[in-house]
């Protein structure tokens, strides 16, 4: 073998070895990704049939793109049906409610974090004694320390429009 042939063989050998090493590292990293627990978890969560979605509804919700709001149930809110919750109320305006109804500022409606839609609430201003009966058709309030959001017309009836907030007592009517 000539001197030039030997030099080409030794020069080609490190380049080929480095390419081979890069190819092996790429294949190993792809194989590791395929076996990662995240990849398997997503595969386990995706239901393959409607029956699987019905049997395991929590798995479908696990892939929800935004966190699902679950309100903190204080002891006063949890016992609203029996004793009557007390706390701050505010009023709000929106375009659509959580129940799917279109928001109407002239109706006597309210947003409550846990009570079923359609529940009738008596909202009593503790300082003035004025009260109004509202229907729950939305979720909220999403501010810590508040127990209910009421529509602007209900806020006018309670006389809290100028104040913005009022200390109220909630009693479930039906």
**Domains of the chain, first to last:** 3-61 (no CATH), 75-172 (2.40.40.10)
Report the alpha-carbon angle 139-114-63, nearest 5.
Answer: 70
Quick count: other Cβ atoms within 10 Å of Cβ 24? 10
Q: What is the pLDDT of residue 151?
A: 93
d(CA 1, CA 6): 7
pLDDT tens, per residue, the chain with 174 residues = 555 555 555 556 788 888 888 888 888 777 766 665 554 455 555 555 555 545 544 444 444 454 555 555 544 444 444 447 899 999 888 778 888 898 899 999 999 999 999 999 999 999 999 999 999 999 989 888 899 999 999 999 999 988 889 999 999 998
**The pair of three-digit structure tokens given for residue 60, joined into one six-digit string:** 């479908």
For residue 167, what is the DSSP state? E
d(CA 129, CA 81): 20
Q: What is the pLDDT of residue 11?
A: 55
Q: Which residues, in sequence order, are CB contacts of 105 under 8 Å at separation 6+? A: 93, 151, 152, 153
Q: What is the pLDDT of residue 94?
A: 75
| Phi, psi angle pair for 88, to nearest 5° | -85, 145
């Amino acid at each position: 073998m000539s001197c030039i042939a030997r030099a080409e063989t030794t020069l080609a050998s490190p380049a080929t070895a480095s390419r081979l090493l890069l190819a092996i590292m790429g294949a190993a990293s792809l194989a590791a990704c395929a076996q990662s627990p995240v990849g398997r978890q997503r595969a386990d969560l995706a239901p393959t049939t409607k029956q699987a979605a019905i049997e395991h509804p929590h798995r479908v919700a696990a892939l929800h793109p935004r966190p699902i709001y679950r309100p903190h149930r204080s002891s006063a809110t949890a016992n609203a049906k029996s004793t009557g919750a007390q706390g701050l109320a505010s009023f709000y305006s929106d375009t659509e409610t959580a129940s799917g109804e279109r928001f109407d500022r002239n109706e006597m409606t309210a947003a409550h974090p846990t009570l079923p839609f359609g529940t009738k609430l008596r909202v009593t201003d503790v300082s003035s004694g004025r009260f109004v009966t509202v229907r729950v058709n939305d979720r909220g309030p999403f501010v810590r320390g508040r127990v209910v959001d009421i529509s602007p017309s209900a806020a006018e009836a309670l006389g809290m429009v100028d104040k913005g907030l009022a200390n109220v007592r909630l009693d479930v009517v039906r």
